[in-house]
Amino acid sequence: MDEDRAQTRAIHHRQRNAQTIEGLLAKREREAVVKLHRDAQRLLRPVVVANPFAPRLGFADERTRTRRDHVKYLSLIRAIALLHQHQRPRRTVSHGGREVAYIEATAADVALANRLAAEALGRSLDELAPQTRRLLEALDAMVAAVAAERGMERAEVRFSRRDVRERTAWGDTQLKVHLARLVELELVAAHKGGRGQSFVYELAWDGAGRDGRPFLGGLIDPAALACDNQRSGPEPGRSAPGRGVVGGRSAPGRDGPAAVNGQANGHVGHRQDDDVQECASMDEHEPAVIDDTTAPARAPARAPARAS
């Protein structure tokens, strides 16, 4: 709570303005907006919301507090789907001799939840110590250069502390401290190395948050979920309970009309075409380790990993 004198003065100013005609009219406008939202909420009905993508979702796990944040993230997806209940087909499943009605979350719901969760639960690069952030940016430039030189994806590049020292001129002690912080924050991933190396590292940061806005790591790209749906193909029927993330089940809202912004019914409108990018190639590649002297451009598929 802000107990500063300036804050008290600002509160007094707001209280006095509330007694003017402008303040009284503003209060009536607020009450009208609140009534509109309450009326919209009354249009919603209790219904079970199932998330067929739940087993494939990811979330940051570097701190114990993410156990609570993870539940908030999953609840956010369900809330978004619930707000679109009148735009989704209702399905039924038999359980205990009774019919249970439910709706399903879509890949577009996951995409919107990812954006909102980043604002509510994410962190900003501004929270990093200046030296740690400089190292992160140096690693980003190094990985981008190596990927361009060898014609590979950024995610395939692996590097050691020696590689970083040689390419960035950082001292070993300073590098150990700040690289360890980046690993703890899961902006860099550590892997057991081979050929006598203790660890090789992978840059897990994709460049999000450069502008200082919050971002949340570990979330799945909704485009991957959309790809699975397109590959599996929709069916009019319902798949059996316990089935995996994708399959014969049709995805609500994907083939129907796009969601619209409904001020009259309280729906938060969004379109899947805007939220989920086109399917990219899902081909997997073996990671490559930076070694300017002897390492091949691509590590062997079954090379043993030895920790020194």
pLDDT digits (tens, 9 = 90+) for 242-254: 333 333 344 444 4
Domains parsed from the chain with CATH numbers: 26-122+217-275 (no CATH), 125-209+283-289 (1.10.10)
Predicted confidence (pLDDT) at residue 163 exceeds the cutoff of 50: yes
Predicted confidence (pLDDT) at residue 106 exceeds the cutoff of 70: yes
pLDDT digits (tens, 9 = 90+) for 13-31: 999 999 999 999 999 999 9
> For the residues 270-293, what does the mean pLDDT come to?
44
Largest CA-CA distance found in the chain, in angstroms, rounded: 79
Amino acid type, 69? D
Cα torsion 60, 62, 67, 68: sign: negative
Instruction: Report the alpha-carbon distance of residue 283 to residue 152 in Å, rounded.
Output: 13
Average model confidence (pLDDT) across the chain? 75
Greater confidence (173 vs 296) lies with: 173
pLDDT digits (tens, 9 = 90+) for 49-63: 999 999 999 887 756
As given in the structure block, the two tokens for residue 21 are 């005609």
